[in-house]
Amino acid sequence: MDVDCISYKQTGYFSQLICDYLDQNERVRPFYNRYPSLKNFEAQIEEKQKSFPEANRSILYESLRNQYKGTVTGKKTTDNLIRLKEPITFTVVTGHQLNLFTGPLYFLYKIVSTINLTDALKKEYPKYNFVPIYWMATEDHDFDEINYFNFKGKKLQWNPDSYRGGAVGSLSTEGLQEVFEAFSNELEGGKNADYLKDLFKKAYLEHDTLTAATRYLANELFGEYGLVIVDGDDVELKKLLIPYIKKDIFENTSHKEVSKAVKLLKETSDEYGVQVNPREINYFYLKEGIRERLIEKDGGYTVNDTDIRFSKEELNKEIEAHAERFSPNVIARPLYQEVILPNLCYIGGGGEIAYWLELKSMFEAMDIPLPTLLLRNSALVVSEKTKKKTEKLNLKIPDFFLEQNNLINKKIREISNINIDFSPQKELLEKQFADLYELAEQTDRSFLGAVKAQEIKQKKGLDKLEKRLLKAQRRKLKDHVQRVTELRNELFPNESLQERILNFSELYSDLGEGFIPRLLDALKPLQADFIILEH
């Protein structure tokens, strides 16, 4: 693949907070530990090595060994599981929901970024081991966000009758035969299509739960690169979280500290939107098909929308006896991850990094090191056919990151046989009014307001004329407008980034088994640019 890049800011799809973080703007500095660079990982390694209990490694290894029962692992993954017991081994983590057939394309970019960073760290620090981790969000309950994937403009959706709420990981895969048949009908024949059908069938029709299906799928796609898959819905791993569950519930530590960070973010810049707000209690109660918020009420604790009640003493005993029933929300889950893993870095999308930037003081209060935060690679994959279309229009791929209306106006101005840029007229008008301002100053200053009003009126008149002329030229050159519009819709479906809409299968059906190796070659996790891949 040929590789080009533009800045994240230039894409127009990333928040001011994320752009400032990537620029290492000083106003973002209070919200993170260390910026992601190879040299900064030395201090991160030292900090995590000192703080991570060796006993946790044995618990982690045994839990993962149980989780992997029945899963065929490649040599690299098998070796990495064993290495996790060693004090010289550290992890790099990305997390994702259990989206059907991986969901959006960026699922692959997250994991490729994670694998590539561990490889880069190994080259820089050869005496240590680095393991790429995919954290499955098995306890999530946002089923409507994960029950479909897009393929060639069609939404292939799963609507099981059996789902009544609760953690999606335990959901039965019953009913996915219909999705499989719909997907198979959309695929064309050939080796790549056969592989995709076989992959879907083995993942979802030969595994009983969504957790098992997702583990199989991720392992098939990335197992040969050493990826280790972690399910946090684990009895032994949750026991390590007990002291932190109590601090959150009984002392409201997370709420207090994250609220301070949210306040500081708002004070730092009006442009920094708050990604998530903390709750007084940041845990759900997870049991028998329910995952509902735990709320302090009337001197005790209740599980939202249920009849389940606890006194403080009863809840303390429940935490000690059944930690697995306490499911962290978006605020508490990052802490859980860092408690059970010897982790150095979290890799996520813009929204994820934005909420991690709210958590530094909470981590400090819990006495757990905040990991380095790295924005995952983002990419636009462009075919040779599409590239030729852009060249025929005398445009470049970066031009298409413009908002659609601005892109069309840019092209119309370029190809029009008349000048639609009224800048010279506006400059002449400003010069004329400068003379009028000087005249008013010399005669009667009370005329300044009238002169200013007339200047604004005439400038607005020129703007209107320019827009009308541009609109007329768009009608006249409607063929060019249509071609530009169709091409932009192809590159940015639904006015969104390609990676947020397309499923990997659409590209795999064209590129085949070389697709993931090409991504591994092209995506550089520490390169803070949006990548354009041409094939």
Q: What is the pLDDT of residues 358-401, one digit of tens each?
A: 999 999 999 999 999 999 999 999 999 999 999 988 889 999 99
CA distance 116 to 526: 9
Residue 443 located in a structural domain: yes
User: What is the rounded average pLDDT of the residues 305-323?
Assistant: 97
Q: Where are the alpha helices (DSSP H) in 125-252?
A: 176-186, 191-200, 210-222, 235-239, 242-251
Residue 488 located in a structural domain: no
CA distance 204 to 219: 14
Residue 342 located in a structural domain: yes
pLDDT of residue 161: 78
Are both 431 and 367 inside the same structural domain? Answer: no
User: What is the rounded average pLDDT of the residues 243-259?
Assistant: 98
Of all residues in the chain, what percent carry a pLDDT higher than 90? 80
Give the residue from 471, 486, 507 where a domain finishes.
Answer: 471
Residue 262 located in a structural domain: no
418 pLDDT more than 50:
no
CA distance 55 to 44: 20
474 pLDDT more than 80:
no
Confidence of residue 294 (pLDDT cuts 50, 70, 90): very high
pLDDT of residue 458: 82
pLDDT of residue 111: 98
Residue 304 located in a structural domain: no
Domain range for 10: 2-240+330-378+516-534
Q: What is the pLDDT of residues 452-461, one digit of tens each?
A: 888 888 888 7
Residue 356 located in a structural domain: yes
Q: What is the pLDDT of residues 83-133, one digit of tens each?
A: 999 999 999 999 999 999 999 999 999 999 999 999 999 999 999 999 999
Q: Give yes or no for a contact between 337 and 95, defined as CB atoms under 8 angstroms apart.
A: yes
Are both 466 and 526 inside the same structural domain? Answer: no
Instruction: Report residue 391 as tokens.
Output: 């060249």
pLDDT of residue 512: 95
Q: Which residues 6+ apart lie within 8 Å of 312 measured at CB? A: 250, 300, 301
pLDDT of residue 427: 81
Better pLDDT: 176 or 419 = 176
Residue 453 located in a structural domain: yes
Are both 221 and 345 inside the same structural domain? Answer: yes
pLDDT of residue 478: 66
Name the DSSP letter for residue 23: T
Better pLDDT: 55 or 162 = 55
pLDDT of residue 441: 80
Task: Decide: helix, strand or coil at residue 240.
Answer: coil
CA distance 340 to 4: 38
Confidence of residue 413 (pLDDT cuts 50, 70, 90): low
What letter represents residue 162's amino acid? S
Instruction: Report residue 532 as tokens.
Output: 């354009």
Q: What is the pLDDT of residues 494-511, one digit of tens each?
A: 999 999 999 999 999 999
Confidence of residue 476 (pLDDT cuts 50, 70, 90): low
Element (H, E) at 372: strand 372-375
Instruction: Report residue 311 as tokens.
Output: 């006194």
Confidence of residue 412 (pLDDT cuts 50, 70, 90): low
Bridge partners of 327, per DSSP, are: 284
Q: Is 338 exposed, middle or buried (0-12, 13-18, 19+ CB in 10 A)?
A: buried
Task: Decide: helix, strand or coil at residue 521.
Answer: helix
420 pLDDT more than 60:
no
Q: Encode burial over 99-115: b for 16+ CB neighbours within 10 A, e otherwise.
A: bbbbbbbbbbbbbbbbb
pLDDT of residue 437: 83
Of all residues in the chain, what percent carry a pLDDT higher than 70? 95
| Averaged pLDDT score across all residues of the chain | 93
Residue 274 located in a structural domain: no
Element (H, E) at 430: helix 423-443
Task: Quote the number of domains for the chain.
Answer: 2
